[in-house]
Homo-oligomer: A and B are copies of this chain.
Amino acid sequence: MKLLIVGGVAGGASAATRARRMSEEAQIILFERGPDVSFANCGLPYHIGNTIADRNKLLVTTPAKLRARFNLDVRTQSSVEAIDRARKTIRVRELATGREYEESYDKLILAPGAAPLKPPLPGIDLPGIHTLRNLQDMDHIKAIVDQGAKQAIVIGAGFIGLEMVENLVHRGVQTTVVELQDQLLPPLDREMTTPIAQELKAKGVTLLLSDSAESFTAVDGGVRVQLKSGKELTAPLVIMGIGVRPENKLAVEAGLDVGPRGGIRVNDQLQTNDPDIYAVGDAIEVQDVVSHQPTQVPLAGPANRQGRLAADHIFGRPVKFRGTQGTAIVGCFGKVAALTGASEKTLRRSGQPFRMVYVHPAQHAGYYPGAQGMAIKLLFEPEQGKILGAQAVGGEGVDKRIDVIAVAIQAGLTVFDLEEVELCYSPQFGSAKDPVNMVGFVAANWLRGDHPQIDVAALYAMPEEQRPLLLDVRTPEEFAAGKFPGAINIPVDDLRSRLSELPRDREIAAYCQVGQRGYIATRILQQAGFQVKNVSGGYKTYMLWHP
């Protein structure tokens, strides 16, 4: 068996080492265009920020180590230029010498990754405009910061963009973020990004949402960016972080199928339409496990997994890649946002029916010092309650709850199962009713008919005359400090004795601070014959929409 692998970072390196573990006999050659293999690309922003001070820590392994330990033939600075599928060969160019040669294969794995998008805007190739894909990109950006750059413009407020912002601010760089959409972190639903936006503003970052770069001009002091809004920004450092596109040129030129967004198409065994050619990692199209739709998920975890599975299949193992659910997380100035499975926007786009609830628990027992709030949004099927997706934003403990729900989605669990999950509880780690139980209770009570709910967005999407009576069941002090416009106030503890003040011919939307007292009010009113719903997540959800 002669196995060639194109690309030596996450998916390619995983495939190569797994292949060797499957076969000591195979000839395995790993081609990498860059000078490094298997570097920690998720760590790049943190070296720029000096959080990871030692650059060498980013080198997960080296060609020499891969040779010694895995008997791999590692060829860096070697660009694979073409595939001849009929002859089963590839053409390789040594970047240092320009020499070209052919190499034959029995099986070929493509792991070329994805390249940062650089739209064809005027001035896009100016030297002050950077993308961040590899150690060399990192070195260039870091050098500019080290030389004392005082301003930066980050275009694109996705995961990497925000990590760059955090690290630039750490370095004392005044940073402006420009994002085309009307929110940070486009994979999340907009309201769930509010706490991150607030934190960025608190750290002095300028956010320009619903705006985009139109052209770039070299000026004294760096690059001037003209925005669609007419604004102009100038900085010595501009970072483009608006997404990536699959490196599919080699595949396309070889006649391999790609999807509409450019991802190389593979089957459940990671084979392209040529069964001797596999593809893995950021370059491929995968199936979303919730929507069953094709998607592209440029994340390290799935890339590693795909590399492993492709190698297994090549060496005769039965494998089936299950698709991905897009679990992802970002930390930014101590705030954390994470998601798994479908978002509200992807569900609306696909027309899949769903319900959603919000909870605002603390990460551990409120009576133990350091309790911090988080917001969790859970999306689930409206009939059986199968979990479709979740998002959380807060601080400590966000990663844990999304991970727990990620496994629940993988297992096909329902909101009724979340009521039952038995998680670690002692006061510094959780609560007797963990946030995951809480969100399960709230969702399951709704499906059982005990807790009808409405969400803030739906409430305000209604014409004002059709809107339910807004009933604030918090204390007068809380009500005075901030309320839903137009709400009346009857504290939950007084509600039983003041039912006569409420209309029986109009729907009532009860709410409190986080949803708990609103739920009790809903139970009281529902049993007394009122038409009532609880506003899911209460005033805290309102504040996500109207900060």
> Who on chain B is nearest to A329 by CB?
B424
Contacts A424-B327, A527-B24 hold; do A367 and B60 have CB atoms under 8 A apart?
yes
Partner of A403, one of B327, B331, B366, B423: B423
> What B residues does A420 contact at CB under 8 A?
305, 322, 410
A524 close to chain B: CB less than 8 A: yes
Q: Once the chains bind, are B402 and A424 in contact (CB under 8 Å)?
A: yes
A264 close to chain B: CB less than 8 A: no
Q: Once the chains bind, are A404 and B404 in contact (CB under 8 Å)?
A: yes
* Shortest distance between the CB of A5 and any CB in chain B (Å): 18
> What B residues does A24 contact at CB under 8 A?
496, 523-524, 527-528
Q: Once the chains bind, are B424 and A338 in contact (CB under 8 Å)?
A: yes
> What B residues does A493 contact at CB under 8 A?
68-69
**How far apart sit A46 and B326, CA to CA, in the bound complex (Å)?**
39
Please encode chain A, from 31 to 43, with 1 for each CB lying within 8 Å of some chain B CB and 0 for all others: 0000000001011
A278 close to chain B: CB less than 8 A: no
> What B residues does A400 contact at CB under 8 A?
399-400, 403
> Who on chain B is nearest to A525 by CB?
B24
> What B residues does A404 contact at CB under 8 A?
403-404, 407
Please encode chain A, from 309 to 327, with 1 for each CB lying within 8 Å of some chain B CB and 0 for all others: 0000000010000101111
Contacts A400-B403, A403-B424, A523-B21 hold; do A365 and B40 have CB atoms under 8 A apart?
yes
Q: Once the chains bind, are A367 and B43 in contact (CB under 8 Å)?
A: yes
Contacts A410-B421, A426-B330 hold; do A10 and B432 have CB atoms under 8 A apart?
yes
Q: Once the chains bind, are A42 and B434 in contact (CB under 8 Å)?
A: no
Q: Once the chains bind, are B424 and A368 in contact (CB under 8 Å)?
A: no
> What B residues does A326 contact at CB under 8 A?
422
Contacts A46-B368, A365-B42, A368-B43 hold; do A408 and B411 have CB atoms under 8 A apart?
yes
Partner of A422, one of B46, B324, B426: B324
**How far apart sit A70 and B517, CA to CA, in the bound complex (Å)?**
11
> Who on chain B is nearest to A364 by CB?
B399
* Shortest distance between the CB of A361 and any CB in chain B (Å): 14
The stretch that binds B, out of A229-237, A265-273, A294-302, is A294-302
Contacting residues of chain A (346-372) with chain B, CB-CB under 8 angstroms: 365-369
- For A, the interface residue count at a CB cutoff of 8 angstroms equals 88
**How far apart sit A325 and B325, CA to CA, in the bound complex (Å)?**
27
Contacts A368-B52, A403-B400, A404-B404 hold; do A302 and B422 have CB atoms under 8 A apart?
yes
A30 close to chain B: CB less than 8 A: no
Q: Once the chains bind, are B69 and A492 in contact (CB under 8 Å)?
A: yes
**How far apart sit A302 and B420, CA to CA, in the bound complex (Å)?**
9
**How far apart sit A42 and B116, CA to CA, in the bound complex (Å)?**
50
> What B residues does A519 contact at CB under 8 A?
21
> What B residues does A403 contact at CB under 8 A?
400, 403-404, 423-424
A291 close to chain B: CB less than 8 A: no
> What B residues does A325 contact at CB under 8 A?
422
A504 close to chain B: CB less than 8 A: no
Q: Once the chains bind, are B527 and A425 in contact (CB under 8 Å)?
A: no
> What B residues does A469 contact at CB under 8 A?
none
Q: Once the chains bind, are B40 and A427 in contact (CB under 8 Å)?
A: yes
Q: Once the chains bind, are A423 and B327 in contact (CB under 8 Å)?
A: yes
> What B residues does A527 contact at CB under 8 A?
23-25
A430 close to chain B: CB less than 8 A: yes
* Shortest distance between the CB of A418 and any CB in chain B (Å): 9
**How far apart sit A430 and B327, CA to CA, in the bound complex (Å)?**
12
A429 close to chain B: CB less than 8 A: yes
A62 close to chain B: CB less than 8 A: no
Q: Once the chains bind, are B450 and A421 in contact (CB under 8 Å)?
A: no
Please encode chain A, from 111 to 124, with 1 for each CB lying within 8 Å of some chain B CB and 0 for all others: 00000000000000
Q: Once the chains bind, are B427 and A520 in contact (CB under 8 Å)?
A: no
Please list 23 pairs of residues, one from A and one from B, whose beta carbons are closer than 8 Å in the complex, sorted by A's number: A20-B523, A24-B496, A25-B527, A40-B365, A43-B365, A43-B367, A43-B368, A46-B427, A57-B366, A71-B496, A304-B432, A317-B448, A324-B422, A327-B422, A327-B423, A329-B424, A329-B429, A330-B426, A340-B424, A406-B423, A407-B407, A408-B411, A411-B417
Question: Can you list the 3 inter-chain pairs with the closest CB atoms, starting with the nearest?
Answer: A411-B411, A329-B424, A300-B432
Q: A71-B496, A411-B417 known; 19 other A-B pairs, CB under 8 Å?
A: A40-B367, A42-B426, A57-B367, A60-B367, A68-B493, A299-B425, A301-B423, A305-B419, A305-B420, A317-B448, A327-B424, A329-B426, A329-B430, A399-B424, A402-B424, A404-B404, A408-B411, A410-B417, A411-B412
